[in-house]
Amino acid sequence: MSKKPTFKEATPPAATDHAQAPVNARLSPEERIELFRKMVRIRRFEERSLRAYQAKKIGGFLHLYIGQEAVAVGCCSLMGPNDHVITAYRDHGHAIAVGMDTKPLMAELFGKATGCSKGKGGSMHYFDPSRNFWGGHGIVGGQIPLGAGLAYGLKYKGLKGAAMAFMGDGAVNQGAVHEAYNLASLWNLPVVFVIENNGYSMGTSQSRSSAGELAQRAAGYDMQWGQCSGHDVYEVRAMMDKFLTLARETGKPSTVEIDTYRYRGHSVADPDNTYRSKQEIEEYRRTRDPIQLFQVKLLAEGVLTPALAEQIDTEARAEADGAADFSEASPFPTPADIQADVYWEADNPADRRSQGRLFFT
Amino acid sequence: MPVISYREAIRHALAEELERDSNVVVMGEEVAQFNGAYKVTEGLLARFGPQRIVDTPISEAGFIGVGIGASMLGIRPVMELMFWSFYSVAFDQILNNAANVRYMSGGQIHCPIVIRGPANGGTNVGATHSHTPENVLANHPGVKVVVPSTPADAKGLLKSAIRDNDPVFFLENTMLYGEKGEVPAGEHVVPLGLADVKRAGTDLTIITYGRSVLHSLAAAAVLEREQKISAEVLDLRTIRPLDFDSVLKSVAKTHRVLIVEEQKPFASVGSQLAYMIQREAFDELDGPIHRLATVDAPAIYSPPVEVEQLPNPRRVLQAALETLA
Ligand SMILES: Cc1ncc(C[n+]2csc(CCOP(=O)(O)OP(=O)(O)O)c2C)c(N)n1
Ligand SMILES: [Mg+2]
């Protein structure tokens, strides 16, 4: 079963055009290297977390972002102070892309009190409101109305910004997504709905789960939409810049479908042997790896040297190992922590206004 | 008798009912080509084909609603929720449509649908994936709620559920899928609404269901060995209809009651039981009814802490001793 109907195969090398898009042309060499570094850091973090999972340091689900790095990095690199991000459970890439420190991210996977959610949320539920990152959500499609709500908040407060609401190609079939589309368009909410189309929802290819094309559904809600390749970080930035600007300047929502690919199974538990071929995965790795492609570009631009690329990789591996060591050394929460962070009032007893019992046995 | 896993027991029930009744259809996310997220439906596509074993998009409200509509025409859909936690996406379909249509039509329409899937904590999947909604479901007259604890019960109860003419919600447990037990081959039907004494005892009745039955049996063994206390473990198996006669019988024998449930305490199955026992068997009680539930908070991820949030043999043992104190 091949990935999906081929509406837009990745454009071969001529895609260097996107480097000329103003949003990319004005990038300094340091900024370009930072884009590259972030992608490498995500990949090494993910690989390290996989090893920790295999060593039974991590419970539950682990959905890896390997192969999709250019999407989160490209999108989040465009964020201004009033731009916000929300995504699904495959959230490690976005968390690193918005600038979260990898130590608390890894510690969260280990279920430690030093984790970004104090060990309460796990892999699927990363959050950092201080970086305008609103999760990390486990229910497919459930985060999309929240993304529209972030946009509503921006508009209400008169702030010039946009929300990016990420979802997978499987999530587009949830009713909540369609309700959010309509509300956003009807009310002119500055949100970009981003479909990270990696071709599969668990073991189901796009052609077996979705009628018609995905981004195009936005047209039914009178929304603008676009499609682009997510293997080229410049292309992602060029496309997203257009729609983020539209949102910030006019308040108009849009839907952007970004073609990407995950190399690993849906989660670490997926044997990945029923729905795609090894050749397909290898083909993507060989020809469309976002890190490889960008490395080649930066080398050609003279921005990156092989030595620097090597150094960035070494540092990223060391960072991931350091995050794992930090996590290993950190304490677990205690049973007494189970009932903290449930109610604002219970955690702020001095300011409590309600009366009566909050908890039951 | 063959010894098979809980997972296989459910698969056998599905296969036998698919074989028996051509109106039975299995539907859900990843049930066919992927062989089931938890491999419960493994091999069914190959055996029964895509007409009967149907993969759906991730559209719980949509496909559950489709199943309910089809059941009104006499199809017997057995819908898989990858996790019962996702029932909230389809809440309106399940608890407005399936639960009410018979009543609102004055009995003209019925919904022979089964919705099944795992509902449990213990696998560190966090608050969104660890709901145990048997109390919420059972709060709705018109529906039936089943929570099997053993492979034999899983098979026998699922067969009854599929043959039932009302909507039946069947709550499995990912922690039990690999548990093995003796299961009769072929026709083995356990009626809905019949509790089962999983261990006879005289000093204390532990009323429980689902995976908590296993914890309670483990604790009862320790009580016997270390404290010479004889605990009876009564497995409800079905939450609605509820076999309250068996509860009364056991209470009349032991006069002490501990309820163990993997439920948030507020308005839980145990709350209902405790009310009924004090109302109908007050004079039989030698002490207050105790209850061990999940610690009252959303499900924590942290693996070693989640164990302490849920009922476990150590917590059951402690609660049993407190009940007898
Ligand atoms: C409401 C709901 N239904 C089902 C699931 C189980 N589930 C988790 S991820 C997933 C596949 C989603 O695929 P897609 O939207 O393409 O995102 P991807 O995993 O490819 O990033 C499924 C079925 C869930 N978490 N929530
Ligand atoms: Mg996908």
Model confidence over A20-74: pLDDT tens digits? 999 999 999 999 999 999 999 999 999 999 999 999 999 999 999 999 999 999 9
Residue A2: the pLDDT is 54
Taken as a whole, chain B contains a residue count of 325
Q: What is the value of pTM for the model shown? A: 0.96
Q: At what angle do helices A175-186 and A143-157 cross, to 10 degrees?
A: 20
- The label of the residue with tokens 């956003």 reads A184
Domain contains A28? no
**Average pLDDT of chain B, as a whole number:** 98
Residue A7: the pLDDT is 47
Percent of chain A with pLDDT over 90: 94
Q: Is the CB of B89 under 6 A from ligand 1?
A: yes
**All residues with CB under 5 Å from ion ligand 2:** A 168-169, 198, 201
Domains B3-182 and B196-324 share a fold: yes
Cis peptide before A13 (omega within 30 of 0): no
Nearest to A174 among B59, B126, B295 (CB): B59
Q: Is the CB of A264 under 6 A from ligand 1?
A: no
Q: Is the CB of A171 under 6 A from ligand 1?
A: yes
Domain contains A97? yes
Q: At what angle do helices B269-281 and B244-254 cross, to 10 degrees?
A: 60
Domain contains A16? no
Confidence of residue A329 (pLDDT cuts 50, 70, 90): very high
Domain contains A24? no
Model confidence over A269-303: pLDDT tens digits? 999 988 999 999 999 999 999 999 999 999 999 99
What's the rounded Cα separation, in Å, for the pair B100 and B77? 18
Residue B196: the pLDDT is 98
Residues paired with B80 in a beta bridge:
B28, B116
Confidence of residue A102 (pLDDT cuts 50, 70, 90): very high
SS3 A228: strand
Q: Which of B268, B300, B309 to mutate to test the interface with A (most CBs of A within 10 A)?
A: B300
Please give the tally of structural domains in chain A: 1
Among all residues of chain A, which has the CA nearest to that of B85? A139
| Interchain CB distance below 8 Å, B126 and A125 | yes
Sequence-ordered strand ranges (E) for chain A: 84-86, 163-168, 191-197, 200-201, 204-205, 224-229, 254-259
Among residues B310, B6, B62, the alpha carbon closest in space to that of B182 is found at B6
Write out the CATH class of domain B3-182.
alpha beta
Residue A10 has pLDDT above 80, yes or no: no
Q: Is the CB of A176 under 6 A from ligand 1?
A: no
Chain B residues close to A124, C-beta within 8 Å: 125-126, 128-129
Confidence of residue A231 (pLDDT cuts 50, 70, 90): very high
Domain contains A29? no
What's the rounded Cα separation, in Å, for the pair A210 and A208? 6
Residue A8: the pLDDT is 47
What's the rounded Cα separation, in Å, for the pair A192 and A105? 26
Domain contains A259? yes
Q: How many CB atoms lie within 10 A of CB B279?
A: 8
Domain contains A276? yes
Chain A residues close to B60, C-beta within 8 Å: 174
Residue B186: the pLDDT is 87
Write out the CATH class of domain B196-324.
alpha beta
Domain parsing of chain B, residue ranges? 3-182, 196-324
Chain A residues close to B33, C-beta within 8 Å: 203-204, 208, 274-275
| Interchain CB distance below 8 Å, A361 and B296 | yes
DSSP track, A109-145 = HTT-TTSTTTTSS-TT---BGGGTB-----STTTHHH
Domain contains A358? no
Please say whether the beta carbons of B166 and B199 come within 8 A: no
Model confidence over B299-319: pLDDT tens digits? 999 999 999 999 999 999 999
Model confidence over B21-57: pLDDT tens digits? 999 999 999 999 999 999 999 999 999 999 999 999 9
Residue A276: the pLDDT is 96
Residue A139: the pLDDT is 98
Residue A9: the pLDDT is 44
Please say whether the beta carbons of B322 and B291 come within 8 A: no
Confidence of residue A5 (pLDDT cuts 50, 70, 90): low
What's the rounded Cα separation, in Å, for the pair A74 and A235? 8
Q: Which CATH number fits the domain that encloses residue A187?
A: 3.40.50.970
Rounded CA Rg of chain B? 19
Sequence-ordered strand ranges (E) for chain B: 3-5, 24-28, 53-55, 76-80, 114-118, 144-146, 168-172, 180-182, 196-199, 204-208, 231-235, 238-240, 257-260, 290-292
Average pLDDT over residues B194-223: 98
What's the rounded Cα separation, in Å, for the pair B94 and B60? 10
Confidence of residue A143 (pLDDT cuts 50, 70, 90): very high
Q: Which helix (H) or strand (E) holds B159?
A: helix B151-163
Would residue B129 show up in a list of annotated catalytic residues for this protein?
A: yes
Residue A11: the pLDDT is 45
Domain of A137? 36-351
